[in-house]
Amino acid sequence: MWQRIACFLIFLKVFECYQKATPTELQNYLNLFKLRDIFISTSVNQKSKGIFFEAKDGQHNLQISVDECLLTMMFPEKNSWHKRIGVFLGEKCETDLMICLNENSLLVFDGCHQIFSDQLHELEFSFGNPEMKLLPNWKIQPKTFEIGSGFPISQKCKIIVSNPKNYTVESVESLYKSRSHPVLHSTVFSENVLEPPDDFDGCMINNELVKIGENNMVNCQKCTCMARDEVFCQVQECPHVKCEHPVIRDGECCATCGKQCNFEQRLTKHAHGEIFWPEDCYRCECWDGEVNCEKKNITCQTPLCPAKDWVIENDYQCCPKCKDDANFCETSPCHKYADCYNEKRGAKCICKEGFHGNGTFCLDIDECKFSQDARAQLGGCMDGTRCKNTLGSFECPCLPGYQRLTEQMCMPLLRV
């Protein structure tokens, strides 16, 4: 804790401090994701480019990053699927950014403006032995950066204004459709050559005459004429490529990175070989810059809002969903002793005063069971009364021989 505080007290050391996070500290940050109780607070501008936090193994990838004013968040889900969310921060994007994962709610704030919110119910952080990184390879360092538990936006902002930004939400399959290529091996062989001219001293390689010491390419192997009729071939050396799914194109010998896909000019780009679902019933694959999609038959779930608030927003959406200003409360999702509030993703149910529960089920609070001190602090029954619980509240009837002074207090009757 003190080490983290020290990082922020010394401005120039913020980036260096977090870049050198120990394995134990990195594991603690991953544990906060597993607990669904984490925030990342940082400053972002047009030049910001890099990863804030990353944890990945062979099947799961958790990554929070920014590039060209696009915030990208990748979360692992059940069955090795992933949810990828892109939020455009604006053209200038001079932003005090805060990302909060609180239970199943993902919230993104620009200062005291809430620019994105969604519910993530399928998260699964079941990493094996992940490789974890904090702020790796940033060219221009963030001016401020903090990562921890809790929901500090509630202390930072007295009023939070909803100001949604442009965003995309997509599901990414774990499956990668590999397209294999022949594996080449080095070999030494003597080739039976056609009868060369009497004055030629060399080899016949791939139906071509090659002088001693010269080379010819055969099936991506570099073949050298070592002596008359003696050829040595070895696999061509290829440069290392930094991508997950390299591709060998027709007529080429070395693997290169496939081209990214920009599907329907959406915010997020797709890596070569990635299989993703832009909407609920279309399965798409990015292959070397081109996207191929196929429609899948699915069973649609009934939206939680009235039918008049259902919308189909694009050609790839098969199931209706609720529009942003849908009246979720019209379907009466809350308990009879709860108040209903419409929010972007659904109804918010809060038990009325005098009741407790989760909003979909509320129980009466028996104030009379509170201690005398607690009742006094709540404005409860005082001298000369007894506490009588009522539905959602309580009453303070006077004891025998007392008369009403206030709603919570009675005084002895004066007898003459």
Residue with tokens 């699927």: 81
Both structure tokens of 195? 């009868």
DSSP state of 217: E
Residue 134 and residue 196 in one domain: no
Instruction: Please check whether residue 178 lies inside any domain of the structure.
Output: no
DSSP code per residue over 110-133:
ETTEEEEEEE--SB----SS-EEE
Residues 142 and 39 in one domain: yes
State the DSSP H helix or E strand holding residue 98, giving kind and residue range, or none if neither: strand 95-102
Do 56 and 110 have their domain in common? yes
Residues 134, 93, single domain; the answer is yes
What pLDDT is recorded for position 65?
A: 94
Residues 349 and 397 in one domain: no
Tell me the pLDDT of the chain (416 aa) as tens digits.
333 333 433 333 344 445 578 999 999 999 999 999 999 999 999 889 999 999 998 889 999 999 989 999 999 998 889 999 999 998 888 889 999 998 888 999 999 999 998 888 889 998 989 999 999 888 888 889 999 999 899 888 888 888 888 888 899 986 555 554 433 344 444 444 456 677 778 888 877 888 888 888 888 888 899 888 888 888 878 888 888 778 888 878 888 888 889 888 788 888 888 899 888 888 999 988 899 998 888 888 888 899 999 998 877 888 898 888 899 999 888 999 999 998 877 888 999 999 999 898 999 999 888 877 777 677 778 888 888 999 998 889 999 999 998 888 899 987 76
Query: Domain range for residue 311?
Result: 307-362
- Long-range own/partner contacts, residues 389-393 (CB < 8 A, 24 or more apart): 389/364, 391/354, 391/364, 392/337, 392/352, 392/353, 392/354, 392/355, 392/364, 392/365, 393/354, 393/367
Same domain, 144 and 163: yes
d(CA 21, CA 17): 7
- Tell me if 177 is assigned to some domain: no
Residue 241 within a domain: no
In this structure, are 81 and 128 located in the same domain? yes
Q: What CATH number is attached to the domain comprising 28?
A: 2.60.120
Would residue 347 count as lying in a domain?
Answer: yes
Asked if 114 and 228 sit in the same domain, the reply is no
pLDDT reported for residue 174? 67
168 and 252 co-located in one domain: no
pLDDT at 180: 45
Q: Of the residues 125, 145, 172, which one is the last residue of a structural domain? A: 172
Q: Estimate to the nearest angstrom the gap between the alpha carbon of 311 and the chain centroid.
A: 25
Domain identity same for 35 and 150:
yes
> 62 lies in a domain?
yes
**39 located within any domain:** yes
CATH code at position 387: 2.10.25
Q: End of a domain among 118, 137, 172?
A: 172
This prediction has a pTM of 0.64
38 and 119 part of one domain: yes
Give domain status of residue 332, yes or no: yes
pLDDT at 367: 85
Number of domains within the chain: 5
Q: Evaluate whether residue 240 is within a structural domain.
A: no
pLDDT at 324: 80
Do 229 and 200 fall within a single domain? yes
